[in-house]
Structure 1
Amino acid sequence: MNKPAKDPFTFDPREKIALFIDGANLYGTAKTLGFDIDYRRLLEEFKSHGYLLRAYYYTALIEDQEYSSIRPLIDWLDYNGYKVVTKPVKEFVDHAGRRKIKGNMDIELVVDAMEQIEHVDHFVLFSGDGDFRPLVEAIQRRGRKVSVVSTLVTQPPMVSDDLRRQADHFIELANLSNKIGRDPGERAARAAERQDRYQRDPEPSDL
Structure 2
Amino acid sequence: MSFKTYAFIDASNIIYGTRDEGWKVDFKKMIKYLKERFKCRKVYYFAGFEKNNIKQRNFYKILEKLGYELILKKVKIYRQPDGGTTRKANCDVDLTFYAMRDIDLFDRAIFFSGDGDFEILLKHFIKMKKDVRVFANAKRTARGIKKLKGIQFNDLGVLKETIKRK
Q: TM-score, normalised by structure 1?
A: 0.73
2: distance between equivalents of 1:97 and 1:33? 30
2: distance between equivalents of 1:47 and 1:103? 27
Unaligned runs of 5+ in 2: none
Q: 1:49-107 deviations in whole A, cap 9, x for unaligned?
A: 233110000111122x3x34322221111122110010111234456765443310001
Write the mapping of 1:49-68 to structure 2, written as runs, cut at 5 A. Answer: 49-63=37-51, 65=52, 67-68=53-54
Give the 3 Å change call, closer, same or farther, for CA 92–37 of structure 1 in structure 2.
Answer: closer
- Report the equivalent of 1:163: 145
CA contact (8 A) 1:114 1:139 kept: no
CA contact (8 A) 2:18 2:25 kept: yes
1: distance between equivalents of 2:3 and 2:35? 11
Deviation of residue 16 (structure 1)?
1.3
Unaligned runs of 5+ in 1: 1-11, 184-207
- Report the equivalent of 1:4: none
Q: 1:17-39 deviations in whole A, cap 9, x for unaligned?
A: 11100111100111112221111
Give the 3 Å change call, closer, same or farther, for CA 96–36 of structure 1 in structure 2.
Answer: closer
1: distance between equivalents of 2:114 and 2:42? 20
1:181 aligns with 2:164: yes
Deviation of residue 176 (structure 1)?
0.8
2: distance between equivalents of 1:72 and 1:98? 28
> What SS does the aligned partner of 2:37 have?
coil
1:80 aligns with 2:63: no
Give the 3 Å change call, closer, same or farther, for CA 178–94 of structure 1 in structure 2.
Answer: closer
**Higher CA-based Rg:** 1
1:21 aligns with 2:4: no
1:71 aligns with 2:54: no
> What SS does the aligned partner of 1:104 have?
coil
1:106 aligns with 2:92: yes
- Report the equivalent of 1:40: 28
2: distance between equivalents of 1:47 and 1:26? 18
Give the 3 Å change call, closer, same or farther, for CA 117–94 of structure 1 in structure 2.
Answer: same
Aligned residues: percent identity? 25
- Report the equivalent of 1:204: none
Runs of 4+ in 1 over 6 A off after TM superposition: none
The answer to which structure has the higher helix fraction is: 2
CA RMSD across the alignment: 1.8
> What SS does the aligned partner of 2:20 have?
helix
Give the 3 Å change call, closer, same or farther, for CA 172–96 of structure 1 in structure 2.
Answer: closer
